[in-house]
Amino acid sequence: MLQTTTKRSIPSSGLSLRFLTTRQISSRPVDFAFTPEQDAFRAEARAWLDANVPREPLPSFDTREGFESHRAWERTMADARWSVINWPSEYGGRDADLMRWLIFEEEYWASGAPGRVNQNGIFLLGPVLLEYGTAEQKQRFLPSIARSDEIWCQGWSEPNSGSDLASLASRGVRNGDDWVLTGQKTWCSRGAFAEWMFGIFRTEPGSERHRGLTYILIPLDAPGVTVRPITQLDGAAGFAEVFLDEVRVPVANTLGEPGQGWTIAMSTTGFERGVVLRSPGRFMATARRLVELYRSRGPDVPASLRDAVTRAWIDADAYRLHTFMDVSRFLAGGEMGAETSLNKIFWSEMDLRMHRTALELLGGEPDPRWLDGFYFSLAGPIYAGTNEIQRNIVAERVLGLPRS
Ligand SMILES: Cc1cc2nc3c(=O)[nH]c(=O)nc-3n(C[C@H](O)[C@H](O)[C@H](O)COP(=O)(O)OP(=O)(O)OC[C@H]3O[C@@H](n4cnc5c(N)ncnc54)[C@H](O)[C@@H]3O)c2cc1C
């Protein structure tokens, strides 16, 4: 894992992992310690979460009631400036680096805090708004995302364009100062209740594949938008398909330049698959609960299940350390490239294994939390790009294998 290249002492952010040459690994220990500032930050986050996390779990955010109670929780976090800690302070953040963000996430999930109802806005749109947005767009959208006054859904997939997203057909036609949008988006998480959607549209007539696409921000109450909820396996209907019938959206709602949609979308995808959507803290919390469940089952648990619990813990910790290494490298000026596909395969398959193990330990005993988690873990190998596609990416771009 640490057979990376150059000797670099990582600067003031106090990064825990240092990059060593293979020769140095044998002669020098890796420093896993956090800095005193990072420890103090962790203590501050933990104290706030201890005092504020709702005692009872909120209803599912895929229901209207749960959606609104999660929005209220987001506002509580925003009031204390915990909702978007790695954003600039002028938009409600704390200017935290990614290392602090990982620490916060560990504390967040360990505390049993609710899921993030505006994760699309906060984790996917926010970073690209900061990178590609105009000053007006940042001022207009970022504070309302930070407070979840406006909750966003992601409008990329279409009925005939999922894995092959570049084949998308929804189009935008320029008319004066507006785009006129027509088409259908599907599988929009929390789209049934969201106020806004970010989507990609074909705006250059006759363009093909990833060329001629534009990234557009769409209010879901605009005339011509129809949101149709989709009922999920667990019975809730937060998912939606979104139909657009000559919907007029100001050209000022274009993120980046017309035609730049694919580039921006792919930079969102990197964040999504990489560390940001599923940070290790989430899986460490699941692994911890799994160990507790195992302990509660008494001495007669079969050895195979004991081994599965042990593996879950080791996997979650390995993902944690790997992510700290990735982030260390990123903060030291490195890039997150196609390797993020490896992360996505790893966390989604690990999550599924952990939930299967929990259900086996329960042996048919009803436990809504584990069951809901299991249902959701089934989707992990599909969303954010299926694992088959991720394996193709790893084969071609990480390992350099031929396309066929
Ligand atoms: C829980 C969940 C939430 C989601 N949220 C959103 C959202 O908010 N916004 C949004 O836009 N989308 C969302 N999606 C959609 C998701 O991105 C797509 O389901 C995914 O990209 C796959 O597309 P598809 O469903 O059209 O399947 P297809 O692309 O039709 O794939 C079907 C099967 O064929 C395999 N396959 C396809 N092409 C290849 C290939 N070249 N090589 C090998 N195997 C291949 C796939 O791996 C898959 O197993 C969500 C999906 C889920 C499950």
Q: What is the pLDDT of residues 206-237, one digit of tens each?
A: 999 999 999 999 999 999 999 999 998 888 89
For the record, the structure tokens of 403 come out as 């396309």
The model's pLDDT over 59-105, given as tens digits with 9 standing for 90+, comes to 999 999 999 999 999 999 999 999 999 999 999 999 999 899 999 99
Report CA(374)–ligand 1 centroid distance (Å).
Answer: 19
- Atom 32, ligand 1: residue with shortest CA distance: 163
DSSP 3-state assignment of 121? helix
90 included as an active-site residue: no
Q: How far apart are CA 192 and CA 238, in angstroms?
A: 5
Percent of the chain with pLDDT over 70: 91
Report CA(24)–ligand 1 centroid distance (Å).
Answer: 43
pLDDT at 233: 84
Q: Which amino acid is at 385?
A: G
Among 55, 170, 43, 165, CA closest to 106: 43
For the record, the structure tokens of 217 come out as 């921000």
According to CATH, where is 2.40.110.10 located in the chain?
A: 152-259
Contact 82, 41 (CB under 8 A): no
According to CATH, where is 1.20.140.10 located in the chain?
A: 278-398
What integer best gives the mean pLDDT of the chain? 90
Q: In which element (H, E) is residue 173 found? A: strand 171-175
Longest dimension (CA), the chain: 73
Q: Does residue 13 surpass a pLDDT of 70? A: no
The stretch 167-176 carries a mean pLDDT of: 97
- Atom 17, ligand 1: residue with shortest CA distance: 383
Instruction: Calculate ∠ Cα 123-126-127, nearest 5°.
Output: 85
Q: If 0-12 CB within 10 Å is exposed, 13-18 middle and 19+ buried, where does residue 122 land? A: buried
- Atom 2, ligand 1: residue with shortest CA distance: 383
Check the CA dihedral 130-132-138-144 and report its sign. negative
Query: Pocket residues for ligand 1 (CB within 6 Å)?
Result: 153-157, 162-163, 187-189, 379, 382-383, 385-386, 388-389, 392
Q: Does residue 15 surpass a pLDDT of 50? A: no
Q: How far apart are CA 338 and CA 265, in angstroms?
A: 15
pLDDT at 392: 95
Report CA(392)–ligand 1 centroid distance (Å).
Answer: 14
Q: Does residue 8 surpass a pLDDT of 60? A: no
Q: Which atom of ligand 1 is nearest to the CA of 185?
A: 11
Neighbours of 43 (CB within 10 A): 11
Report CA(162)–ligand 1 centroid distance (Å).
Answer: 5
The stretch 299-322 carries a mean pLDDT of: 96
Q: If 0-12 CB within 10 Å is exposed, 13-18 middle and 19+ buried, where does residue 152 land? A: buried
Report CA(132)–ligand 1 centroid distance (Å).
Answer: 26
pLDDT at 17: 37
Q: How far apart are CA 276 and CA 186, in angstroms?
A: 23
**Contacting residues for 119 by C-beta, under 8 A, at least 6 apart:** 277
Domain 278-398 sits in CATH 1.10.1030.10: no
* 184, 383, 390, 404, best to mutate for ligand 1 pocket (most atoms within 8 Å of CB): 383
Among 352, 341, 343, CA closest to 389: 341
What is residue 181's DSSP assignment? Answer: E
- Atom 48, ligand 1: residue with shortest CA distance: 386
Q: Which atom of ligand 1 is nearest to the CA of 153?
A: 8
For the record, the structure tokens of 291 come out as 């160990």
Look up the CATH number of domain 152-259. 2.40.110.10
Q: How far apart are CA 244 and CA 112, in angstroms?
A: 38
- Atom 44, ligand 1: residue with shortest CA distance: 388
Report CA(210)–ligand 1 centroid distance (Å).
Answer: 17
Q: How far is CA 325 from the centre of its chain?
A: 18
Neighbours of 87 (CB within 10 A): 25
- Residue of 195, 272, 339, 365 marked active site: 272
For the record, the structure tokens of 354 come out as 């952990």
